[in-house]
Amino acid sequence: MKSIVISLFFAILGMIFSILFQFMAYWGSNTMIWYWIGVVMAYLFTTISLITLLLLYRGTKQYTASLKFLILLNIAIILGTIFWTTFIIIAWKSGI
């Protein structure tokens, strides 16, 4: 249970960085270093969350209902963060 909470914590941190860097996309070109730092942090935290989730999956034999819910919530946050971050990068690069 402790590792799923750690994984969920990293997924939420990745989502926060994804939302914060989205607001930086509208800044001028002189502040774009912070934009890319936000992108890297969003991807880094979601990757750490995914790795800890995979390690949890390999080590657990039986799943309770609450553990299944937390795993599904974690997967939804991870996928949402990755897709949203990628979408914002593509939209920013295309000029939308």
Which amino acid is located at 21 in the chain? F
How confident is the prediction for the chain on average, in pLDDT? Answer: 83
Give 21-63 pLDDT, tens digit per residue.
777 766 666 667 777 888 888 899 999 999 988 887 777 777 7
Domain chopping of the chain, boundaries: 2-94
- Looking at residue 28, its pLDDT comes to 62
Nearest to 18 by CA among 77, 95, 94: 77
